[in-house]
Amino acid sequence: RISFGTYNDLDVDDDENTGVNGKDIRVQYILLPWFSTENGLSVGLNLVLNIDRLGEEIKNNDFTAYIRLDNIKIGFRSPNITGSEMPLKLQLSSIVFLNLLDSTYGFKLLSNPYYTSDINGKTLSFFATYDDSSNKQKYTFSLKPAVSTDITISSTKEPGVWSYSFRRNSNIETILETHIVRHSLGDTKDTIITIKYLPREISFRFSIQPFKRNGGKILYQSENDYSTEIKIESNNIGRCRYATIKNPPREIYTEWIPSRDTGYLKLITESQGSTSITLQDKLVDPTINISLEDIGNVDFKSYWNLTNPGTFRIIRNSSMNLVIHSFIEEWETRLNITSLSKNLDIKWNINTSGYVFYDTNLESIKTADILIKTNNIGIKTKADIFKAEDFQLNWTNNWNITSSGRIEFSIVSIDVYLNGIWYHIWPWI
C-alpha cells in the first residue's frame, strides 16, 4: 500500500539483495488543485508522481509504474531496449482540466526525467487512460531521447477538432510519437502522430475524418510555420491510412478519394512554399502514393478517371504553382506546373485511333511538365506559355493527325505512349 503525500520505498523485483535494504524505488504521489488564467479560467486537478530509482539492478529492466484513480490511469514505461535505461529520477505531473469560459476540456502531461549518463538513446513512454462502460480512451506519448517535455491536448468548440501543444524543455532534439485510441459505441479510432523532430514549441489544431468511398480528410491549423515533419497513421482516413506533412504551414485542409476511376483531391494551404504532403495506403510497396511538393498558398480541386478513355481535371481558386507525383495502382501521374490557369482539362483515348484534348479556358500556363501513364498507354506534355480552348488532336491507325479548337504557345511538345513506344504527335515536323 502506498501512502498519499509521503515517500514510499518499494521492492519491485522481489529480491532483498538489490537496491537499498531490498527496496528498489522510492515513490510519492500528490493530488493538488490546479487553475490557470491562460485562454480564460481553467480549473482542474494535478496528480504528481515522483519516482526515484534507488539502485542499479533494475535500471535496464522493462519497468512500468502507474496510479489509478477510479477510471483514470496515469503512468510511464521505461522499455528494455538497447541504449535505454530507467531514469534515476522522474517527476510526472498530469493535469485534467475544464475551461470555464468555453466549456472545453483536456489534460496536460509534464515530464522531467533525470539521467546520470548521456541522454541520447534513452526512451520513455507516458500514458493516460480513461475507461468506463461506454467510453475508452488511451493516450501514449513516446520520446526518444526522453527529454523534459510539456504536453497539452484539449477539445475545441468544433466537433472532432482537437488542440495540441508540445514544449521541449531541452536543447536536445527528440522524436515524439503520440498514440491515441478512442473507443465508443463499438467504434475504435486509432491514430498515431509522430513529430520528427519536436520543435522547442509547437501548437496546432488537428482533425482527421473519413470521407466518402474510402477517402479521408485532414484539417491542420497553426499560428506559425514549422521546420519539422509530422507523420500520421490512422484507421479513420480510409484507404490512405498514412499521411506525411513536411514543414507544416499555418493551414492545411485536404480531402481525397484515392480511386483510380472517379478519384478526387482537394487541397487548401497557407504556406511559404516549402511544404510537402504525401498520402499512402502502405509504407512498403504502396499501391497508392500521392505526393504534393513545394506547396505554397494553394486552393484547388482535382478530379480524375485513370482509365482509357480517361480524364484529368484541375480547378483552382487562385494563381499557384503545383507539383504532384502520384501512383494509383498501375497509373503514374506527374505534374509540374507554374502559374496554373484557372482550369486545366486533359482527356484522352489512346489506341491505334484516338485523341488527346486540352483546355485551359484560354488562360496561360507559364510552364508545364505533365505525364499521365500506365503500362501500355500514356501522355506526355511539355510547354512554355501555353493556353488552349477545346484543343483536340485526333489520329487514325496510320497516324493521320488532325486538330480542332484553339492553342497558343511559346514552346509545346505532345507525345503519346502506346504498346511500349512513345510517339511525337504535336507540333508536326
| Helix, strand and coil in the chain, % to nearest 5 | 0, 65, 35
The whole-angstrom separation of Cα 290 and Cα 280 is 7
Which three cell numbers mark 66?
A: 502507474
Chain CA centroid to CA 155, Å: 19
Can you give the three-state secondary structure of 24-54, one letter per residue? CEEEEEEEEEEEECCCCCEEEEEEEEEEEEC
In angstroms, what CA-CA distances link 354 with 110, 113, 331? 65, 68, 19
- The residues near 270 (Cβ < 8 Å, ≥ 6 apart) are 249, 250, 251, 297
191 neighbors 208 (Cβ within 8 angstroms): yes
Q: Which residues contact 5 (CB under 8 A, 6 or more apart)?
A: 28, 29, 30
Length of the chain: 429
Separation CA 390–CA 163 (nearest Å): 47
Q: What is the pLDDT of residue 174?
A: 98
* Paired strand residues for 411: 384
Q: Which three cell numbers stand for residue 282?
A: 502502405
Q: What is the predicted pLDDT for the residue at 399?
A: 85
Distance CA 357, CA 263 (A): 19
The residue type at 25: I
Segments in the chain below pLDDT 70: 1, 429
C-alpha torsion sign, points 209, 210, 212, 217? positive
User: Using one digit for the tens of pLDDT, what is the confidence trace for 215-254?
Assistant: 999 999 999 999 999 999 999 999 999 999 999 999 999 9
pLDDT tens, residue by residue, 263-300: 999 999 998 878 999 999 999 999 999 999 999 899 99
**pLDDT for 418:** 96
Cα angle at 215 between 334 and 378, to 5 degrees?
25
The pLDDT of residue 428 is 72
Whole-number pLDDT of residue 69 = 85
Question: What's at 116, amino acid-wise?
Answer: T
User: Which grid cell is 64?
Assistant: 512500468
